[in-house]
Each structure stands twice: as C-alpha cells, then as structure tokens.
Amino acid sequence: MNNHTGVVSAAYSLPSGLISARDALAQEGLVYSIVLDQRLGIDSVPACGDETASSLALAACQEALRRAGIDAALVDVIVDFSILPQDYLVPAWNMSNKLQHELGARKAFTVGFSGGGGSNFLVAMAAATTLIETDDKLKTALLVAGDVAIPGNRILNPADPVSILGDCASAMVLQKGAGHTVLDFALWTDGANHDVYYVPGGALANHNPGAYRIQLDKPRFDASRQAGTLGKLVAAMLEAAGLSITQIASVLLPNVSQEDQSDLQRELGLKAEQVDPAVRKSYGYLQGNDFVLNYLAALEPAPPVAGSYVLAASHGMGFMPAAVLLRLT
C-alpha cells in the first residue's frame, strides 16, 4: 500500500476587479517610476469589490474538490493558511469553520496557521502531510486560504515599496496514496523576527485603528534574507533525497517582487528557466496563495514529465524559511 501523501488537485478564485500597479501606487499617494517598476516586476493585481475572503475561498474549495472528484463529506481535515485579517477577528473566529459548514464537510476538523508570509502554505502542507501519514483514520486534507488586502494598505512598506498585494483565495486537496507525491519538507522559524511582518494596531496590545496596517521591518527583513538560512535548508533536504538543485524541473517561489525572486534564485543557485515569473507579473504578491497559482502554472499547459521534481521554497518574510519537495506522477 502506498502511504505517501500526494497533491490530487488545486484551484484558485480571483475577484472581478484588476488594477494596474501604477493605479495601486497612486491610490496610496505614491509615485510610479521606471526604477520601482523594474524592482517590483508587478504589472497588475486582482482587487476585491463586493467579494470577501471567505466567499473567494469557498469557490476555490468547491473547484478543487470538483477537480479531485471528491465529495466534501469525505474530507477529514481543513487547514486554513490565510495570512491577512479575515471576515472577523481571529483566532476567536476562523474562516475554516465557516467553510466547513458551507461545504458540508461534516466529518472534518479544522485548524489554522498564521505568520510566515508565503511559508504559511508550506507549513500547512507539511502539517497536513504529517497528519495523513501518521493517522490511519485520515485520508483527505483540504488546504485553503483567502487573503484580501486591508483597505488602503495594498502597498507593502510604502516608504520604500517592497511589493503590491493582490486579493485571492486558493485551495489544494491532499490525499493518502494518490497524486503528485510530497517527498519531504523542511521548516525553521526565527522567533526573534516575530514582528518583522505583522499588523501592529487593532489588537489588545495596541487598540489603535489608525495602525491597522500590515507592516514590514525592512532592515530586519533584508538581513534575514541575506543570512542564507533558506539555502541551507534546501541544500540539506535535497542532499537527503540524493538530488541536486539542477535536477529540479520547476521551482515555486513567493511572488513578492522581481528583486526578491532574483535574490532567491541566487541564494538557491537556480537557472532562470526553473522559475516562471508570469503569476507575479499579473497578480502581485498573494501571500501563501502564490504557491497554489505557481504550482498550477508549472503544470499547465504542458506539465513536466512524470518523475520530475518540483521544489517550493520561501523565506517566510524573515520569520519562517520553509521548503517542500514534490515528485510528479
């Protein structure tokens, strides 16, 4: 019996609105420039009108389950890897519970993760894989996120823009003994960087609605990326699998910016053809949803041949470097 966990399907849902990078900057009082455009490498981002994070997430879940041919009533666990604030205040309220009800996933239990930027998806995948492979009662996991920018807070670090945030939801179905195999994962956190990327106002520690904005401590963020931690994690994981980075057909990275992806490519020793920039250019930074969209882009229209390896890796916004290794079947 094959006890490995695999990716059976994935899907995403976008809002109806799309705004240009130039307009997104202007809406927050910032001036477009050629230099900034080249650094970010983002042409446009999806933007919600009347849609909510949970409504987009429901649509993504339904489509992922449809593609997998799995009834929601058979899902064992729903893992929410959203980063941005949801419909109501978390953790008292979590979107996964609402989705469980709306999907009719009656036997599932729900869990949510936060922090770590795009790495949140990789942590969710690692956790779901571990649950499925260590508990005979569990077979199917549904990973889901819905991330919608705080109004007026689409530009990350306006004083020196690092990225432009897009709105999106995505979902992925993992199942025991099926799909593209999850071979291994590597996770690490730096607790000292817990407040490199966070929302400082609106919580008990600082009940200040005016500070209800996502913040990035750019000097510490830059320093953490330069430490080379992710490169070491990936190198150790590949060595354990008997692989080199040149044997990886496709590498999925967070879509923070052109500059950020170039830095990651150098750190990991990647060739340009191993990374597809198309999703970043069209949609901007979508938090953990980046990895679902990048994964689907890597498989379409002509997926790598069976037996090829796909690596997903993220610096976790300076807090949570992480990587997952897949083998296509």
Closest CA to 167 of 140, 143, 141, 149: 149
What whole-number percentage of the chain has pLDDT above 70?
98
Q: Which residue has the tokens 């980075």?
A: 245
Give the pLDDT score at 243: 98
pLDDT tens across 242-269, in order? 999 999 999 999 999 999 999 999 999 9
Give the pLDDT score at 1: 38
Q: 226: pLDDT confidence band, cut at 50, 70 and 90? A: confident
CATH architecture of the region 184-193+227-327: 3-Layer(aba) Sandwich (3.40)
219-115-184-284 Cα dihedral, nearest 10 degrees: -70
Q: 225: pLDDT confidence band, cut at 50, 70 and 90? A: confident
Burial 164-186 (b: 16+ CB within 10 A, else e): bbbbbbbbbbbbbebbbbbbbbb
What DSSP letter does each residue of 133-160 carry, written as one string?
HH-TT--EEEEEEEE-PPTT--EESTTS
Task: For the chain, give every domain's residue range.
Answer: 5-178, 184-193+227-327
Give the pLDDT score at 90: 66
Domain 5-178 top-level CATH class:
alpha beta
What count of residues does the chain have? 329
Between strands 155-156 and 163-164, the pairing is antiparallel
What whole-number percentage of the chain has pLDDT above 90?
85
pLDDT tens across 195-204, in order? 999 888 887 7
pLDDT tens across 92-150, in order? 788 999 999 999 999 999 998 877 899 999 999 999 999 999 999 999 999 999 999 99
- In this prediction, residues 310-322 reach a mean pLDDT of 96
Give the pLDDT score at 2: 56
- In this prediction, residues 278-306 reach a mean pLDDT of 94
- Is it the case that residue 211 has pLDDT exceeding 60? yes
Fold: same for 5-178 and 184-193+227-327: yes
- In this prediction, residues 209-213 reach a mean pLDDT of 84
Give the pLDDT score at 3: 65
User: Which of 10-14, 68-72, 110-114 shows the lowest per-residue confidence on average (mean pLDDT)?
Assistant: 110-114
Mean of all residue pLDDT scores within the chain: 94
User: Which of 9-23, 95-109, 171-185, 296-310 shows the lowest per-residue confidence on average (mean pLDDT)?
Assistant: 296-310
